[in-house]
Chains A and B, each alone.
Chain A
Amino acid sequence: NAGVTQTPKFQVLKTGQSMTLQCAQDMNHEYMSWYRQDPGMGLRLIHYSVGAGITDQGEVPNGYNVSRSTTEDFPLRLLSAAPSQTSVYFCASSYLDRGIAGGGNEQFFGPGTRLTVL
């Protein structure tokens, strides 16, 4: 299994450009999510999905769009890049526990995409 893969590893954009960060997992996980990590800080949740066709906003969704047309893929789109979006972006996936104590489980993280917006 490849686990969680992210492309590209590095990207430089100019202000106003758009792009899509790719994320794929081969573990048949229902739950997928995107985070950004700024220097010296923890991860902040951008968007997440509990299954194909279902997405929801996290802590910092503005400026980003997501879609989940398949279980495997969860791309993150930057609509009009801004310098404030310079960050390292991580994608993660996990099984879901929909029981009484429902919620996430162990998250498997991708290696990250380092994005610089000039």
Chain B
Amino acid sequence: SQQGEEDPQALSIQEGENATMNCSYKTSINNLQWYRQNSGRGLVHLILIRSNEREKHSGRLRVTLDTSKKSSSLLITASRAADTASYFCATDSSYKLIFGSGTRLLVRP
């Protein structure tokens, strides 16, 4: 079974709104990563947060990590139509990167 589970499975928002995706996992981790996948394409790395970090920012992205709850969230602020994609969290432990099932984000113009 997959380590990370994203919530919601699908999200539809208006351009300019914020999008929040959540990820829960089961075992201890070294780091947690978020990736984006446009339809039919390879994955693109967005941000990595290590187990000893609580929050990280990159441009319009904000990631939080709560190791006590084994959960993470990805916030995309001021969304754009180009943000439409699937977003995956991936947990890294013992050199294995295990992906969740993803959140499909649709940003309506």
Interface residues of A (CB under 8 A from B): 31, 33, 35, 41-45, 48, 50, 56, 58-59, 90, 92, 96, 101-112
Contact = CB atoms under 8 A, between A and B. Distances in A.
Given A50-B95, A56-B95, A59-B98, 10 more contacts: A31-B95, A35-B99, A44-B99, A45-B96, A48-B95, A48-B97, A101-B50, A107-B43, A109-B42, A111-B41
A35 B44 CA distance: 14
Contact of A101 (B30, B41, B95, B97): B30
A19 B81 CA distance: 40
A97 to B, nearest CB: 8
Tell me the dominant secondary structure on chain B's binding face. Answer: strand
Contacts of A110: 42
Contacts, number: 74
B107 to A, nearest CB: 20
A42 B4 CA distance: 10
Interface of B: 2, 4, 30-31, 33, 35, 41-45, 48, 50-52, 88, 90, 92-102
A112 B50 CA distance: 27
A48 B96 contact: yes
B58 to A, nearest CB: 11
A37 B59 CA distance: 29
Given A58-B96, A90-B42, A110-B42, A105 B48 contact: yes
12 contacts: A41-B102, A42-B2, A44-B2, A45-B96, A45-B98, A59-B2, A59-B98, A101-B51, A104-B97, A107-B35, A107-B43, A108-B45
Contacts of A44: 2, 99
Contacts of A33: 97
